[in-house]
Each structure stands twice: as structure tokens, then as C-alpha cells.
Amino acid sequence: MNAGPPTIGFVGYGEVGRILAEELRAQGRAVFAYDLKLDDPSVSQPLRTHALAHGVALASGHAALAAAADLVVSAVTASQTLVVARACAPGVRPGSFFLDFNSASPAAKQQAAEVVDAAGGRYVEAAVMTSVPPHRLRVPLLLGGRHAAALEPVLTDLGFSGTVASAQLGRASATKMCRSVMIKGLEAMVIECLTAARHYGVEDEVLASLAETFPGISWESQAAYFFQRVIEHGRRRSEEVREVAHTVRDAGLAPLSAAGTAERQAWMADLADAGVFGPRGTTEFARSRDWRTEADRILAHLSRNKD
């Protein structure tokens, strides 16, 4: 890396990329971004407007972004982890860092690392251990790989909250993936449980029973949060859980729970794309503080589409 302040490049300018770019630009850091949506005039304008408002320079492609950055942050959907590493490789600066934020399996991270390191970069995996929006730049990260210890002080100076988990690549991602069996599975189970309970008119009884069994959880607020996040980000979550399923399968287990969770998350994403929860980008879209509103929309959709 250069001796001066690092230039940061984000591949993926979705929710995570935009939040982190905002934080870094507020510090006066030089930030570049590239996203495939920038090449599509029908969806690029909101990204361009955001970049202009925050002073984020937009690169013309993956390799161009990598050539401009001392630190590349890959924040795309899980299925694109290796694709992005390969696309960035021709432009990677010798000695520059490549921080992989993606929720991918240890095997996918190891393959991406081989590509980046062969190009002269220094690959570091990052396991994002909770939702980014509440924490923003300070979201807890587990760092992994042989270059993780070298990158940790750079990230600390930038305001990130990263901790080296292991020099062994894949351990940080395995931690995240195994956690997601539970966390993403809980989202899917709550949506399925309470939507069905709403159909039968027994949601109050079910919630009371859950509160008795797990008194430390506010099931009303947790359910509203789960419904909103899955409706808005179900596609990304389903891809992550498919990577979770790969991780479980690589351990020798049939990923029965993870596979079902991925299907439920994708199903919710399909409903969102079909407009069941209102038009995206409007106040009607998955913004109810009461999960019942969204459950009723699901049930109404199912009723309309009965054979």
C-alpha cells in the first residue's frame, strides 16, 4: 500500500457499500465504487445520485476500480464472490488489500483468495457478524487469512471494528456460516410460524407461549424486524443461506435446515419482486411496525392464487 491515506474502492454499491462509503467520505477519505447496476440505465440513477451527494467517485469497471484502490472491499451477493475476485484481479495493485465482506462459504473464500493473491494482492476474509445498518462502520468483523494481521491496524485507523480470528483462511467464514444456520433460519421460522398462526387466528396464543419459553426476547418487535429485513433483502439472504448449505454439506451433513431456509428466503424475495408488499422505494413497501400487516399481505396473495 501507499504510505499516505489509503484509497478505498467498493465493489457493490448496495446498502452495505453505500453505508460504509458514507462513513468514510465523512472522514474525508478517497472512495471509489463500482456496481453492475451502474451499467443499466433503468436502475443506475439512485446509485449515481447517492455517489454525487457523498462525493464517491464511480469507476468504469471492476479492474479499473481495483487499479485505483489501496483497499478493495467486495460487498456483493454471495454467489458473486469468486466472480468479483476474478474480475478485479487484472487491475489489482501489487501489495494492495482485498477485503471480502461477502457471506460465502470457506471454500468460496479460499478460491477467491487464490485468484487475488496470484494477482499480487493481499486477500483478507471478513465475516460480518451482525446486521450492518445499526452499527454502520463499527459493525463487528472477524478477519481471516495470512494477511489479516497486517490489515487490522489499517481498518482500525479507518474506523472499522475488525478482530483477527485466524491466520487460517476459512475459519472466520465458517463462524459466520454456522451462525447463519441459526440466525437466518430463525427469520424463516418466525415468518412461517406467525403467518400460519395469523391464518388460524391463534397468533396471540403463539406469541404468549413463545414469550413464556423465551422471556428475554420481544417477539412482537423481533417479528416486525424479521419480516421487514427478509422482505427487503430476501434475495441476498437466500444466496447467503445457499452458501451456508454448501458449508454444512462440506462438513458431511445434509443441510436440511439451511436448504429449507434458503427456499423460504427466496420465496419471500419472489413475493417482494411481484409487488405483494407494495412498490419498492415507497412508504408502503415493508415498512409496517406490525408484522401482521405483512402476514396479511402474504395470506391475501395466497388466497388470490389458490388453484
Own/partner long-range contacts of 277-283 (Cβ < 8 Å, ≥24 apart): 277/231
Q: Are residues 24 and 156 in the same domain?
A: yes
Quick one: CA dihedral 124, 130, 131, 137, positive or negative?
negative
Number of domains, the chain: 2
CATH code of the domain in which 187 resides: 1.10.1040.10
Do both 121 and 51 map to the same domain? yes
Tens digit of pLDDT for each residue in 44-58? 999 999 999 999 999
What is the Cα–Cα distance from 234 to 240, expressed in whole angstroms?
10
pLDDT in tens, 81-128: 999 999 999 999 999 999 999 999 999 999 999 999 999 999 999 999
Whether 1 maps to a domain, the answer reads: no
Residue ranges making up the domain that contains 189: 173-304
Q: Which of 127, 144, 168 is the last residue of a domain?
A: 168
Question: What totals of helices (H) and strands (E) does the chain contain, helices first?
Answer: 12, 8
CB 243 within 8 A of CB 103: yes
pTM: 0.85
pLDDT, averaged in runs of 10, over the chain (307 residues): 79 95 96 96 95 97 97 94 97 97 94 97 95 92 97 96 95 95 96 98 98 95 94 92 96 97 97 89 70 95 86
What average pLDDT is seen over the chain?
94
Classify 290 as helix, strand or coil: coil
User: Is residue 3, in this structure, part of any structural domain at all?
Assistant: no
152 and 16 within one domain? yes
